Amino acid sequence: MKSCGTGWFCFLLSTFLFVHAAGGRAAAQDGGWHGPRFPAKIAASREIKMGGATLQVDFADGHFDLPLDVLMQHVQAAAAAVTAYYGRFPVNRARVLIVPIPGRGGEPQGTTWGDMGGFQGFTRIRMGEHTTTADLADDWVMTHELVHYAFPSLPDDQHWMEEGLATYIEAIARHETGELTAQRVWGDMMRDMPKGEPAPGDEGLDRTHTWGRTYWGGALFCLSADVAIRRQTGNRKGLRDALRAIVAQGGTIDQEWPLERALEIGDRATGTHVLTQQYAAWKDAPVQVDLPALWKELGIRPAEGGVDFVADAPLAAVREAIAGEAKAPAHPVAAH
C-alpha cells in the first residue's frame, strides 16, 4: 500500500506517522483524513480503455466544482503518461475511486493498493470539491499512483524503491505525453534530488526510513541507475527497458516479490549488473552521489527561471534519452 499526500507537508506528515508507528502503517496512512475509507455510494462510474487495459473510474457521492469530464480527462492523461513510459498500461484491470472532500480544494491525495476487490490495482484519490483546473495542472499525484501499478509489492524495508520509482518516473512519463517540458523535468530534479542524499547517521536505503530517503533517496537510486545503464550500454538501454521487462514478466503491484527478483530481471533486460550491484552498495551504506558533477556531465545548469541545457556536454545524449527537448510531442494529452 502506497500513500501519497496533498502537498509536501501532508505527504511528510503521513509518511512520518507511518514510519514511527511500527507495524501500524494502516493507522497512519491517511494523513489526517477521518472519514470512511471506502464510501458506500458511487454516484458515477466510467471506464477508460488504455494500452490494453480497462481502468474503471468511480466517483463517490458528493459535489465537485469541476465537471466529471474534466476529472476524467485528468485520469486519462495520467493513464496515457504511464502507458507512454511503459509501452502499455501495466495491469489489465484497475480501479480509481475519486472521493470528493467537502470544503477542500488544492491538489488531490492518493493511496494505492494491489490486488483489491478483484482489481490488480486500486487507487483512491481524495479530491477537494473546490479543486480547480489549475490545481490539476500542477498535480503529480494521479500519475504517481498509477506508476505504482508497474512494480511488484515489496517488503517494508524496500518501500523506498516503490516510492522512489513512482517519484522518478512520474515526471518523465508526463514529459512523454507533452504535459511537462524537459526543462521542467530536469529543473525539478535538480531542485529535489538533494533531498534524497544521505544525512549524517544514514545506514543505507534499506535501513533509513525517513521521508527524504524513501521518496527522493529512491528517486536518486533510479536516476543513478538510469545514467549508469546508459553509460554501460552506449545509451542503447536505460532504466525504462529494465522496468518494462519487470512488468512483462508479471512484476506488478498485485504480486509480492523480493526486490532482488525484480532487479535481476531488470539487469538481464539491459545486459548489465547495474541494478543488482547498485542495490548491494546502497542498501546498507550511505552512498553519496556527486550531484553537481552529474548535472554538469548531463549538461544541465541553472538559468533564469529554471534550467537550460548544454548541447555538447559529455552525457547530453543520455539527458535527451531520459527526457529530451528534441522529442517534445506535437499534441499534449493533458486536460488543461
Positions that interact with Zn ion (CB under 5 A): 2, 4, 163, 166
- The label of the residue with cell 475509507 reads 37
- The label of the residue with cell 495542472 reads 137
Residue (4 or 72) nearer to Zn ion, CB: 4
Cβ partners under 8 Å of residue 300, min gap 6: 186, 190, 307, 309, 310, 313, 319
Residue (163 or 254) nearer to Zn ion, CB: 163
Cβ partners under 8 Å of residue 305, min gap 6: none
C-alpha dihedral sign at 215, 160, 79, 267: positive
For the CB of residue 2, give the shortest distance to Zn ion in the complex, in Å: 4
For the CB of residue 70, give the shortest distance to Zn ion in the complex, in Å: 24
For the CB of residue 140, give the shortest distance to Zn ion in the complex, in Å: 10
Residue 139's SS3 state is coil
Residue (17 or 321) nearer to Zn ion, CB: 17
324 exposed, middle or buried (CB, 10 Å; 0-12, 13-18, 19+)?
Answer: middle
For the CB of residue 138, give the shortest distance to Zn ion in the complex, in Å: 17
What is the spatial distance between Cα 24 and Cα 27, in angstroms, rounded to a whole number?
5
Residue (196 or 286) nearer to Zn ion, CB: 196
Residue 22's SS3 state is coil
For the CB of residue 166, give the shortest distance to Zn ion in the complex, in Å: 5
Residue (123 or 177) nearer to Zn ion, CB: 123
